[in-house]
Structure 1
Amino acid sequence: MNLVLSPALQVSSPSSVEQCWGAFLHGPAQEFMSRPKKEFRAELVSIGCRLYLKGVPFSEKQKSIIAELSRVLEWIHAGSLIVDDIQDDSLERRGGPTVHRLYGVGPALNLGNWMYFEALKALHGLAVDDGVKLKIISCTHEAMHQAHLGQALDLGASMKALNTGQIQEVVHKSHCLKSGALVALALQVGALVAEPKPDLLLLQELGTQLGSSLQRFDDLGNLKFHCADSKALEDLKLGRPSWIWMYLATCGDSSQIQGFKEALEFLPETHALEAFVQSTDLKKRAHAEALRLHRNMEEKMKKSFAGFENVQTLGLIKNLTERIVHAYE
């Protein structure tokens, strides 16, 4: 994705202005985007399109649009990770130092926000009908709005002070808004490439459930001890909503929730939490429940598109969701 300047800002030869943009925008963005990533959302753009093509192969034009939309979603997601890492003061991301630790908080914040706007700007150049383009832009704005609402819950909720019902509400909303919104968007924009009037509400519902499932396994993957992974236990140390809280609030009892809260008081020292997790078999039980919910989501997705006679696409969805289950182990 290349920066296109307005005529007022264009220069005829390399300048200190362009060098500054290269050093603080293009270079850092390129480096961050070159790091290893799972690209689940990019795959879902293609799957969303396939669901409504019903077995018809992509045209060359559709391939180009899908590729551009995939890049847009990866840029939005990357920008959100950069901002999220600033808010959590994380040490590492995608196998390297976080952007704010490489370049400073100010440059990193500017870069993350710029990546949002670069991505949105690219949508205006899509080779689609104006009506479809407006829907894609509208869906994207709504997803980004929802994601920021979810991030506000992450930053503002005091998990230890919440009762059982409040824990369930906050974690559910956080997962749906922060993680589910962008996954749902991937399915929606992909579908719009194939069909000008897809069922956007259904795709939002299914995508939100899939994104929430992804977040559950991510949370479980971070519940580990005695490892070099700087992300391990990060959400629990920071008091963020997570699947661990949700599981205890829905499947545990009051004594377990109280024991969990007491163990968290010793963080960053982990012995009390580790002992609690082992004595309650917490990770295994929470994983089993997350897997049960994941299978229910898979079945609902299969039933929702069974009439589309697209067995191959449903197989792709199955393969992708299986990778999600194991991606954060």
Structure 2
Amino acid sequence: MRKQFMNLQTLKLDRSVETLLELALMTPVQDFLSRPGKKIRTQIVELGYAFSDTRVAAGPPSPTEKVLCEKAAELLETLHAGSLVIDDIQDGSRIRRGKPSLHVTYGLPVALNAGNWMYFWPLQKIGALGVSDKTELALYRLFNDVMLKAHYGQALDVGIRIDEVPQENVFKLCMSSIELKSGALMSLAISLGATLAQASPERIGVLQDFGNSFGTALQMYDDIGNFCAAPSKEPLDYTKRFEDLYLRRPSWIWAVAATECTSQVYQALVDAVWRLPDESFLKPWIEIHQIVPKSKARAKAHLSKCLDGLNHHLPPEPTSSGFVQLRELSSFLERVYV
């Protein structure tokens, strides 16, 4: 696995230094990338390829096309992994994918460098995909665009205290943060596949819009899942439960509360959050105002609208198998995250 990532010949380092570099960089990178993930975006890359107007009549990707999609998806998953490492540092999260976060195990400087490296490695490897110069340039632009958007979204995420934002602006802030991060990343996934298949600009645009909406749905369910997570037995390690409340971060829960509650009820939530880690005020508020069922219902409605919108824009017959896979993936999403 390390040989797959490390190509140090161009650095012209002594072998002893290469060994140290592998230890300092690839040990934490390999640790993180070996952790099991859901690989939802990998499937979306293949669907983007299958949904392209240049080849929809050909059915699912061939074995050769599938390998190309898998290589592109690996670049995307590595980029995503890097963003999670940085996210955990900025949020002070101690757990990621069932294990201690990278900065907890290796320290902040090592984890920060590893996370940043995972941003740049995919850009270098685009040239190894064996695609035309035109497609290669398009892929570079897609990656650069999503990385820029994600940092705009992260600025909103870490730079604004949600409890200090007027209630009437909370929903817009939360949705902007979600769309610029999770939405943009899923948009990249499906447009990667479409670009590899040399889809028309019009089709890529349709798929990008869908990817943004689908990625937004994914984050909605992820936020609900974190909100409903069981409390940790360790007092200093609350996993992801109520993390967005503790950190005053924009999230789907805040967005729903801001639009479902009166000003008085919403202020009661803010007051309850201020009292954390004492949950004696927050728990009754959650139950009385049914924030979890409301969040689930609205996330489900968003996901259904997202799928219906794509179905409206694409011809039904050649893409029917892709839609079956997409709806199965959507059902999986609802089961796993909530």
Sort the TM-score into its range (normalised by shorter chain): over 0.9
Q: Secondary structure at the match of 1:64?
A: helix
Contact kept, 8 Å, 1:3 with 1:118, in 2: the verdict is no
Structure 1 residue aligned with 2:131, among 128, 132, 147?
128
CA deviations 1:173-203 (Å, max 9, x no partner) are 1010011111000000101121243423222
1:133-172 aligned within 5 A: 133-172=136-175
**Residues 1:242 and 2:245 aligned together:** no
1:250-261 aligned within 5 A: 250-261=259-270
* CA distance in 1 between partners of 2:81 and 2:170 (Å): 28
* CA distance in 2 between partners of 1:49 and 1:226 (Å): 38
Mean Cα deviation higher: 202-211 or 306-315: 306-315
Mean Cα deviation higher: 207-216 or 49-58: 49-58
* CA distance in 2 between partners of 1:248 and 1:58 (Å): 43
Aligned residue identity for 1:58: P
* CA distance in 2 between partners of 1:216 and 1:170 (Å): 14
* CA distance in 1 between partners of 2:63 and 2:180 (Å): 34
* CA distance in 2 between partners of 1:226 and 1:203 (Å): 36
Q: Secondary structure at the match of 1:124?
A: helix
Aligned residue identity for 1:54: V
**Residue in 1 aligned with 2:226?**
222
* CA distance in 2 between partners of 1:263 and 1:124 (Å): 52
* CA distance in 2 between partners of 1:226 and 1:200 (Å): 40
Contact kept, 8 Å, 1:225 with 1:274, in 2: the verdict is no
Aligned residue identity for 2:252: W
Q: Secondary structure at the match of 2:8?
A: coil
**Residues 1:210 and 2:214 aligned together:** yes
**Residues 1:290 and 2:299 aligned together:** yes
**Residues 1:92 and 2:95 aligned together:** yes
Contact kept, 8 Å, 2:206 with 2:310, in 1: the verdict is no
CA deviations 1:138-159 (Å, max 9, x no partner) are 0111011101111111001111
**Residue in 2 aligned with 1:50?**
50
Aligned residue identity for 2:242: L
**Residue in 1 aligned with 2:318?**
309
Structure 2 residue aligned with 1:321, among 312, 330, 333?
330
Aligned residue identity for 1:311: S
* CA distance in 2 between partners of 1:59 and 1:10 (Å): 41
Mean Cα deviation higher: 159-168 or 139-148: 159-168
Aligned residue identity for 2:109: G
Structure 2 residue aligned with 1:105, among 83, 108, 120?
108
**Residues 1:197 and 2:209 aligned together:** no
Identity value in percent: 33
Instruction: State the TM-score, normalizing by the size of structure 2.
Output: 0.92
In the TM superposition, what is the alpha-carbon distance from 1:252 to its structure 2 partner? Answer: 2.2
Taking only aligned residues, the RMSD between alpha carbons, in angstroms, comes to 1.6
**Residue in 2 aligned with 1:20?**
20
Contact kept, 8 Å, 1:180 with 1:207, in 2: the verdict is yes
**Residue in 2 aligned with 1:264?**
273
In the TM superposition, what is the alpha-carbon distance from 1:274 to its structure 2 partner? Answer: 0.9
**Residue in 1 aligned with 2:35?**
35
* CA distance in 2 between partners of 1:324 and 1:209 (Å): 14
* CA distance in 2 between partners of 1:162 and 1:171 (Å): 11
* CA distance in 2 between partners of 1:60 and 1:281 (Å): 48
* CA distance in 1 between partners of 2:13 and 2:239 (Å): 42
User: Structure 2: 5+ residue runs without aligned partners?
Assistant: 233-237
Mean Cα deviation higher: 21-30 or 84-93: 21-30
* CA distance in 2 between partners of 1:88 and 1:70 (Å): 26
Contact kept, 8 Å, 1:51 with 1:308, in 2: the verdict is no
Pairs aligned (count): 326
Q: Compared with structure 1, are the counterparts of its residues 93 and 225 closer, same or farther at alpha carbon in structure 2 (3 Å cutoff)?
A: closer
Mean Cα deviation higher: 90-99 or 49-58: 49-58
Q: Compared with structure 1, are the counterparts of its residues 55 and 10 closer, same or farther at alpha carbon in structure 2 (3 Å cutoff)?
A: farther
Contact kept, 8 Å, 1:48 with 1:187, in 2: the verdict is yes
Mean Cα deviation higher: 69-78 or 24-33: 24-33
CA deviations 1:66-111 (Å, max 9, x no partner) are 1111100110000000000000111100010000000000000000
* CA distance in 2 between partners of 1:230 and 1:285 (Å): 23
Q: Secondary structure at the match of 2:35?
A: coil
Instruction: State the TM-score, normalizing by the size of structure 1.
Output: 0.95
Contact kept, 8 Å, 1:82 with 1:108, in 2: the verdict is yes
* CA distance in 1 between partners of 2:178 and 2:281 (Å): 27
Q: Secondary structure at the match of 2:128?
A: coil
Aligned residue identity for 1:137: Y
Contact kept, 8 Å, 1:54 with 1:308, in 2: the verdict is no
